């Protein structure tokens, strides 16, 4: 690790001020990704802006048809929240199966979504539910937020403050995970919203979470695992590495989507 300055602001406004004043400063939430990156010298920020003391970033609340989760909610908070469990049980189950207990006790939803690791879980729920990302300065639709591998619509110095999830009629998530790292090899999050819209988001398979339009169309006509059983994802552009080929991941897209619809019921 290199030397860096450390700040612990008490408000979003102060954090943004610190980040804007120094373009090489980085916000830190759970540190589960950023600290290993610093240790491996993959990242060299001049300062860390620790968000953990900012009350505005905390809390989970259900209002009408919307579930709002503060950026600092740890995976364990989401997994154990009565509001999440009753409104979007698939999201609580997703959180309960992220990494291991140490990761779930430190890692946050804001850090995970801002990081946009192709093998992370939450981006699939955010895109699959058509959530809205609330930042210190604007609101961003999930469809516009995830832009590529580790790339989002967040501008330098912009803080993710909360995520607003529409409470769906049905939602389910299934993933095949790497037995060693526990990160997602391929996952599918499916949802039927109260508006009638059906969304299918695939994570782990490609460089960035993406929607599977053919499956959305089939499930709109017939919400059942059989509706997606014969839909084949093209392996073109999918990830291929020592853990699995693009063809294997393409096959998993269908299998995970079927399981996710079955879980949603
Ligand atoms: C061993 C291990 C296993 C894991 N397994 C899984 C898994 O199975 N599934 C999964 O989804 N994840 C997994 N993770 C990742 C983990 O779940 C964390 O969610 C993830 O590391 C990022 O969250 P964090 O709060 O730790 O963010 P940090 O590490 O603090 O930050 C990550 C990035 O986001 C930025 N950032 C943080 N907060 C904000 C904010 N509010 N606004 C803007 N930018 C911000 C930081 O500057 C940094 O660039 C694993 C991690 C480890 C170490």
Do 147 and 182 have their domain in common? no
> 59, 87 in Cβ contact below 8 A?
no
Q: What is the pLDDT of residues 135-154, one digit of tens each?
A: 999 999 999 999 999 999 99
Indicate which atom in ligand 1 lies nearest the CA of residue 177: 8
pLDDT(180) > 80: yes
Q: How far is the CA of 6 from the centre of ligand 1 (A)?
A: 19
Cα three-residue angle 213-215-221, rounded to 5 degrees = 110
Q: What is the pLDDT of residues 196-246, one digit of tens each?
A: 999 999 999 999 999 999 999 999 999 999 999 999 999 999 999 999 999
Write out the two tokens for 143.
């469809």
Q: What span, in angstroms and rounded, lies between the C-alpha atoms of 216 and 221?
A: 9
Q: For the chain, how many structural domains are there in total?
A: 2
Q: Which of 132, 166, 200 is the last residue of a domain?
A: 166
Q: Which of 22, 53, 114 to mutate to test the pocket of ligand 1 (most atoms within 8 A of CB)?
A: 114
pTM score: 0.97
Ligand 1 touching residue 95 (CB < 6 A): no
Burial track 165-204 (b if 16+ CB lie within 10 A, e otherwise): bbbbebbbbbbbbeeeeebbbbbbbbbbbeeeebbbbbbb
For the chain, the C-alpha Rg in angstroms (whole number) is 18
Ligand 1 touching residue 71 (CB < 6 A): yes
Do 49 and 154 have their domain in common? yes
Q: Which of 135, 166, 197 is the last residue of a domain?
A: 166
Range of the domain at 238: 170-264
Q: What is the pLDDT of residues 27-40, one digit of tens each?
A: 999 999 999 999 98
Contacts of 66 (CB under 8 A, 6+ apart): 164, 165, 166, 167
Q: Which of 166, 188, 221 is the last residue of a domain?
A: 166
């Amino acid at each position: 690790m290199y030397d860096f300055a450390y700040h612990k602001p008490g408000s979003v406004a102060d954090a943004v001020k610190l980040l804007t004043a120094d373009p090489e400063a980085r916000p830190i939430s759970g540190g589960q990704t950023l600290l290993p990156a610093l240790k491996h010298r993959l990242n060299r920020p001049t300062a860390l802006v620790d968000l953990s003391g900012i009350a505005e970033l905390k809390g989970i609340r259900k209002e009408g048809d919307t579930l709002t989760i503060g950026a600092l909610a740890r995976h364990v908070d989401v997994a154990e929240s009565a509001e999440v469990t009753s409104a979007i049980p698939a999201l609580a189950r997703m959180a309960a199966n992220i990494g291991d207990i140490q990761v779930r006790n430190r890692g946050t939803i804001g850090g995970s979504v801002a990081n946009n690791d192709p093998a992370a879980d939450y981006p699939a729920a955010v895109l699959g539910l058509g959530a809205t990302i609330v930042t210190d300065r604007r609101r961003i639709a999930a469809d516009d937020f995830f832009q590529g591998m580790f790339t989002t619509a967040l501008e330098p110095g912009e803080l993710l403050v909360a995520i607003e999830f529409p409470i769906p009629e049905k939602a389910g998530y299934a993933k095949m995970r790497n037995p060693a790292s526990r990160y997602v090899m391929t996952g599918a999050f499916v949802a039927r919203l109260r508006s009638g819209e059906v969304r299918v988001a695939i994570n782990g398979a490609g460089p960035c979470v993406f929607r599977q339009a053919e499956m959305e169309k089939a499930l709109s006509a017939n919400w059942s695992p059989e509706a997606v059983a014969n839909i084949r994802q093209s392996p073109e552009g999918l990830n291929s590495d020592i853990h699995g080929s693009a063809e294997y991941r393409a096959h998993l897209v269908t299998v995970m989507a079927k399981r996710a619809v079955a879980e949603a019921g």
